Amino acid sequence: MNLSTSKVPYEKPLMVKHVTGMMNKFGSNPAFVPLEEIDGVRVSSLVEQYGSPLFVFSEKTISAKVRELRDALALRYPKSRVAWSYKTNYLDAICRIHHNEGSWAEVVSEFEYDKAVRNGVPENRIIFNGPYKTGEALSKAFNGGAIVNLDNFDELAEAERSAANFPEPPSVGIRLNMSTSSTPHWSRFGFNLENGQALDVVKRILAGGKLQIKGLHCHLGTFIHATEAYGEVAAKMARFANLLRNDHGITVDYLDLGGGFASENTLHSQYLPGQQATPPLSRFVEEITDGLRELDFPSDSMPTLFLETGRALVDASGYLITTVVANKRLPDGQRSIIIDAGVSSLFTSFWYKHDVVPAQPTNGLPETAVIHGPLCMNIDVMRPALVFPPVDPGHKLIFKNVGAYNVTQWMQFITYRPAVVLVSPDSEHSIIRKRENLETVVEREEMAPWLSK
């Protein structure tokens, strides 16, 4: 009898519960459709050239979004302007695309102000918001003719001190906060409208005689789906503007409705996916312009309408390409996929169920997986649970809708911050922020002299 000596290696039996994309009314899971190109450029060639992880921005998508908003405004309230919210993404190249599309700059710090100036934005096209503006920053803004929206009484006193150096009273706007029937009340910024504080500050500015009131501002909140809330705010601001005009002799030049429109992302707490739940930009504009019908102004002195839309204009243009470094089976049976980018690069994973797609075709049965990063911290979870096809080390995964608040809020933590690449509408591509390295990270460090002895 020939008993073969070659042994088949022992394989431990493993029972895996497969959840193959349970029946649902939304059809098949979009995660299985690979994204192999971004605006005509192969994902694999981008990684080959620039490394992984890698942020990629689509210029075409940014321009399309700005134009969509601009066109919606032009149709219903032509005397309007979009100001690019710098904090959302202040990479020079991204700002340049917005400014080339005609957007002004909206900044909330002296650093952002200086960055806008460095980007060639004329100072009288900068809107300066935020709860902390130093005396020097206020003087700089008054000198440059920027739009300054005041946040609090202490800042008003600081602005009046700065104003003393100017022959004419500099112009200011007043930031308001107010409640609506459908949004949480952001009451920490500006002066409250309902309790009379906003009117108090108007009277206070008039009594001081050192500043002129030129406008009203309200940034309602962020990631707002409730378009009707904007209609309420616009109407309340319009009625307040009427009051200033009729009772106090102030005809405001502008009403600034801030930002806050939801992008096409999906919050962790959200049921419907962003693609279905997020209203189009035109719906927000319709509500705002309907609310502005309350304005009782002569047609030749209607105020300019400003919008400072951030995330809704840039989220969809951003992608984060990552590489799978390992697969694991966790004790509870769940599959875990480790990738080379963590929450330090993709801060918005804390808020959103980002769409994740493979960058190459996949085979095999999808199952529930957790996708996490390389940070050696339990909080480093990019997607806690999603049904995903099998992927191997070396495969690329792409996070979509990551254009807002990531390349400004990212942290250098444990690893380097990734490079950022821009793809043009003609499929040209270029680096717009280099990957960090040891030198760039330690550049600002100094050795205490007694330690170097």
Q: What is residue 343's DSSP assignment?
A: T
Nearer to ligand PLP by Cβ, of 311 and 417: the residue is 311
Strand partners of residue 397? 322, 358
- CA–CA separation, 266 vs 399, rounded Å? 13
d(CA 354, CA 349) in angstroms, rounded, equals 7
SS3 assignment, position 217:
strand
CB of 85 to ligand PLP, least distance (A): 4
Q: How far is the CB of 325 from ligand PLP (least distance, A)?
A: 32
Tell me whether residue 151 or residue 367 sits nearer to ligand PLP (CB atom). 151
Q: Are 373 and 382 in contact (CB under 8 A)?
A: yes
> Where does this chain bind ligand PLP (CB under 6 A)?
85, 87-88, 106, 108, 129, 219, 222, 258-261, 308-312, 404
Closest separation in Å from C-beta 184 to ligand PLP: 13
- Find the helix packing angle between 281-291 and 227-248, rounded to 10°: 30
Among residues 55 and 84, whose Cβ is nearest to ligand PLP? 84
Q: Dihedral of CA 32/33/36/37: which sign?
A: negative
Q: How far is the CB of 108 from ligand PLP (least distance, A)?
A: 6
- What is the closest distance, in whole angstroms, from the C-beta atom of residue 289 to ligand PLP in the complex? 18
- For the CB of residue 405, give the shortest distance to ligand PLP in the complex, in Å: 7
Q: Where are the alpha helices (DSSP H) in 292-359?
A: 311-314
Please say whether the beta carbons of 273 and 29 come within 8 A. no
The CA distance from 418 to 339, in Å, is 13
Q: Which is nearer to ligand PLP, 87 or 372 (CB)?
A: 87
**260 vs 418, which CB is nearer to ligand PLP?**
260
Q: For the CB of residue 306, give the shortest distance to ligand PLP in the complex, in Å.
A: 10
- Nearer to ligand PLP among residue 261 and residue 388 (C-beta): 261
Least separation in angstroms between CB 24 and ligand PLP: 30
Cis upstream peptide for 53 (omega within 30°): yes
User: Helix 153-163 to helix 135-144 angle, to the nearest 10 degrees?
Assistant: 60
Residue closer to ligand PLP, measured from CB, 173 or 258: 258
Which pairing describes strands 54-58 and 318-329: parallel, antiparallel, or unpaired?
antiparallel
DSSP lists the bridge partners of residue 175 as: 217
For Cα atoms 182, 287, 279, give the angle at the middle one, nearest 5 degrees: 70
Residues 6+ apart with CB under 8 A from 271: none
- Closest to ligand PLP by CB, 310 vs 342, is 310
